[in-house]
Amino acid sequence: MPNLRIVTKNALRQAASFTASSTAGNLAVASLAAAVKSSLHRFIGTSGTYKAAWAAPVRIGCVALPFCNWSPTARQRVRVSTEQPVTNLVTRSEEMHISAGAWARAAVTTVNANVTAAPNGTNTADQVVPTTTATSHYLDYSITGLADDTTYSGAVFFKRDTLMRACFNLTAKDGSGATVEVNFEDGRMTRMSNGIGQDCKFKVTPAGGGWYRLFIENWSTRTGATVPRFRLFASQHNEISKNGWANTSVATERAAGVASPYENWPVDKLVEGTGVSGHYTSATVYCEAGRTVVLEQTLKALGSGATRYGAMLLTAGTGLAAHRSAVVNLATGAITAQDSGTECVFSTEDMGGGFWKLRCELTPDRSGATTWQIRVSNSSANSAPSYAGDGVSGVYVCKPYAYALVPVTDWAPFSGGSEGSVIGDGTTGFHTWGAMLRPGPKMDSYYPSVGTVQGQRPLGYMDAWQSYDYDSGWVLACPAPAVELEGFTAAQAASAYAYGGGAYARHWLPQQMDATGLAVDIADPDNLQGYIEAACMVAGPVWSPRYNASGTSVSVIDRTEVSRSAAGDQLADPGTISRKVPVDLRAMPEEDRARFLDLVRNSRAHPILMNVFPEHPDLALERDFMVYGRRTKDSDIAYQFAGAYSTTLEIEEI
């Protein structure tokens, strides 16, 4: 069990800025740093964000909000930044997002502009959709004002709509290009090229809310007469979808009402014909020699009668030395027959609801295009069986796609497919927003110039999608059960701070950090009052003794006045309620004694947060022995024995 912890000071009192994403009426956010539980801040609604920034780094080991009305299911996300100010951002870099006039378009439709919120919540993103007839679909931006032979870095933010993939291309001044292909579903980079002499590197990281951030690192402008360009290609290359299948003697139709194991992914119905020897769908995937490509197809038996089988067949071509195949029993998921050779590894996975994923890890011995067929079969044989059916039976099919297993350190040439060969159906696409370039080998965050000097980001700036030095993710804020108060409804007790109600929210950082920026996101949809509020917020350094407290207790200080009436009845005039927690620190080494003296010296004037049982599995115990208050009496430090000291610290809630 962790030892006693004390947040020794509230760094929010020295913050250069302290803001909230919304405020109800005159309940200002400045109230949170005042250490007065009768003065509070309230958000409009059940979610919000607090942000603080400091002119100089401050030590933070804990963030807590004592006296809040949050429910036990409330979640919070704590982010800490140590970013320094930056003033060398490319001028007007924020205009590189997709908006009218910023991009030149080639056969690309921007549908319902600004239909989705950008990751920072204040700007909006567009939906990019390729057309159905042209062979080239891209957004094009000319990047002017860049120095020769200078290394820049940048970022693009994208979110899947329905399209699975896109290509991002940078063209340097010498005309050479660096390209990366990205899977919009999971941010996987499938293929990439570093460009001739550019040494361009890419990295994809989650940005929250379904968004991904594509980092452009170490991109060199080179020297030449070409104007550097940045392009986004709406691509279906290497993606297998309904649009990508060629059907042979198979009736293909949308299977209405059939649930897919994947969100927002359609299910198609492949039905065998009658008296025809071949029923299959096929598509082409590009392969590179020695590089593993994963092919996945998810199938579910349709109809009754004989056991249904699904077969994956890879036909001999420039990518394969011979035919490779596997047949899966759609009732059990067992592979009944296969010819895997040395290039293939077949496997199945139960996706639930009767769906089975048939997977192939293909490592071809040569580069080129390989035809990938999915067959509907009555036969468990590996050879080409007779597929004649009853015209009713078949399979449901969904989630077909291919991707290459390419590590992010592999900068092999991008080849075997044209970024321009991307014909869409006019409805599938993706959302994209936010691009910038600035000198330097490291891309950290983006700061719009609206309301400040163009190209300037202040110290400790925090947005919703930069890289943070610490990010807790969404975690429970105050999971202990709420205290029940007599005479109050549950909703009233949630904010009856003067009478022992409310909750203590807290988050302990794994290790203390020197922070210039702090953000606390809160979400409490189950809040009984329909809004979230807090009376105090504490963020600061944490002290913990080497040896834990040897004894402690909790006292309820009830200021109710009891009297007798003339008739002899006992009467009570309810008063406020608070807690007092004394702890016995029986043995302290010298370094703890010195730090403790510094701590208690001014703890009467300035409250401290003390938690006797931090991160204890008994959540109610942690709640009862966590108190934000002041030292109630002088604490004598007694000399016990060689090198050890003892004292009693008594903290009374504010």
Assign residue 257 the CATH number of its domain: 2.60.40
Co-location of 217 and 99 in the same domain: yes
Q: Taking 70 as the threshold, does the pLDDT of residue 505 lie above it?
A: yes
Element of type H or E holding 30: none
Co-location of 348 and 214 in the same domain: no
pLDDT band at 75 (very low <50, low <70, confident <90, very high): very high
Q: Taking 50 as the threshold, does the pLDDT of residue 154 lie above it?
A: yes
Q: Taking 90 as the threshold, does the pLDDT of residue 43 lie above it?
A: yes
Co-location of 183 and 257 in the same domain: no
Whole-structure pTM value: 0.54
User: Which of these, 602, 612, 603, 604, lies nearest to 582 by C-alpha position?
Assistant: 612
Average pLDDT taken over every residue of the chain:
77
Per-residue tokens: 138: 């891209």
Tell me the C-alpha distance between 49 and 19, whole Å: 8
Tell me the C-alpha distance between 340 and 327, whole Å: 11
Tell me the C-alpha distance between 411 and 414, whole Å: 8
Tell me the C-alpha distance between 72 and 544, whole Å: 27
**156 or 265, which is more confident?**
156
In a domain, 313, yes or no: yes
Query: How confident is the model over 268-303, as pLDDT tens digits?
Result: 887 776 655 566 777 777 676 777 778 888 889 887
Strands (E), 486-576: 503-523, 533-534, 538-540, 542-543, 551-552, 555-558, 561-564, 570-573
Tell me the C-alpha distance between 618 and 615, whole Å: 8
DSSP for 453-478, written as a single string = -TT-B-TT---SSS--SEE--SEES-
* Cβ neighbour number for residue 151 with a 10 Å cutoff: 16
Task: Identify the three-state secondary structure at position 296.
Answer: strand
* Cβ neighbour number for residue 482 with a 10 Å cutoff: 18
Beta-carbon contacts of 46 under 8 Å, excluding residues fewer than 6 positions away, are 523, 524, 525, 527, 530, 531, 532
In a domain, 208, yes or no: yes
User: Which of these, 173, 174, 184, lies nearest to 144 by C-alpha position?
Assistant: 173
Average pLDDT over residues 487-512: 90
In a domain, 59, yes or no: no
**98 or 478, which is more confident?**
478
The rounded percent of the chain whose pLDDT value lies above 90 is 17
Per-residue tokens: 511: 């290790």
Co-location of 163 and 103 in the same domain: yes
Co-location of 185 and 283 in the same domain: no
Strands (E), 378-490: 394-404, 430-439, 470-471, 475-476
Q: Taking 60 as the threshold, does the pLDDT of residue 520 lie above it?
A: yes
Domain of residue 563, CATH code:
2.40.30
Average pLDDT over residues 513-539: 93
Query: How confident is the model over 17-28, as pLDDT tens digits?
Result: 899 989 998 888
What's the Rg (C-alpha) of the chain?
Answer: 32
Beta-carbon contacts of 256 under 8 Å, excluding residues fewer than 6 positions away, are none
User: What is the reported pLDDT for 252?
Assistant: 73
Average pLDDT over residues 150-159: 78
User: What is the reported pLDDT for 91?
Assistant: 36
**608 or 232, which is more confident?**
608
Co-location of 150 and 289 in the same domain: no
Average pLDDT over residues 301-310: 73
Average pLDDT over residues 449-457: 48
**338 or 394, which is more confident?**
338
pLDDT band at 67 (very low <50, low <70, confident <90, very high): very high
On whether the CB atoms of residues 508 and 75 are closer than 8 A, the answer is no
Tell me the C-alpha distance between 581 and 611, whole Å: 10
Co-location of 176 and 252 in the same domain: no
Per-residue tokens: 423: 């014909």
Co-location of 125 and 192 in the same domain: yes
In a domain, 545, yes or no: no
**166 or 118, which is more confident?**
166
Of 362, 395, 428, the domain-final residue: 395
On whether the CB atoms of residues 214 and 476 are closer than 8 A, the answer is no
pLDDT band at 348 (very low <50, low <70, confident <90, very high): very high
Domain of residue 175, CATH code:
2.60.120.260
Tell me the C-alpha distance between 485 and 502, whole Å: 10
Long-range contact set of residues 112-121: C-beta below 8 Å, sequence gap at least 24: 115/431, 116/159, 116/431, 117/209, 118/157, 118/433, 118/434, 119/157, 119/207, 119/208, 119/209, 119/211, 119/213, 119/433, 119/434, 119/463, 119/464, 119/465, 120/434, 120/446, 120/463, 120/464, 120/465, 121/464
Of 343, 363, 395, the domain-final residue: 395
User: What is the reported pLDDT for 35?
Assistant: 85
Co-location of 165 and 282 in the same domain: no
Co-location of 146 and 269 in the same domain: no
User: What is the reported pLDDT for 288?
Assistant: 67
Q: Taking 60 as the threshold, does the pLDDT of residue 2 lie above it?
A: yes
Tell me the C-alpha distance between 506 and 490, whole Å: 21
Of 360, 395, 430, the domain-final residue: 395
Co-location of 278 and 349 in the same domain: yes
User: Which of these, 577, 653, 618, lies nearest to 479 by C-alpha position?
Assistant: 618
Tell me the C-alpha distance between 609 and 539, whole Å: 10
User: Which of these, 130, 190, 181, lies nearest to 158 by C-alpha position?
Assistant: 181
On whether the CB atoms of residues 4 and 612 are closer than 8 A, the answer is yes
Long-range contact set of residues 553-556: C-beta below 8 Å, sequence gap at least 24: 553/581, 553/582, 554/579, 554/580, 554/581, 554/624, 554/625, 555/579, 555/580, 555/581, 555/582, 556/500
In a domain, 345, yes or no: yes
Of 90-104, 435-449, 637-651, the range with the lowest mean pLDDT is 90-104
Average pLDDT over residues 616-630: 88
Structural domain including 311 reads 248-395
In a domain, 51, yes or no: no
Co-location of 291 and 219 in the same domain: no
Average pLDDT over residues 476-505: 86
Average pLDDT over residues 538-555: 86
Structural domain count, the chain: 3
Q: Taking 80 as the threshold, does the pLDDT of residue 473 lie above it?
A: yes
Q: What are phi and psi of 481, to 5 degrees?
A: -60, 145
- Please tell me what DSSP assigns to residue 566: T
In a domain, 343, yes or no: yes
Strand partners, 166: 182, 234
On whether the CB atoms of residues 481 and 620 are closer than 8 A, the answer is yes
In a domain, 264, yes or no: yes
User: What is the reported pLDDT for 80?
Assistant: 92
Of 144-158, 355-369, 416-430, 475-489, the range with the lowest mean pLDDT is 416-430
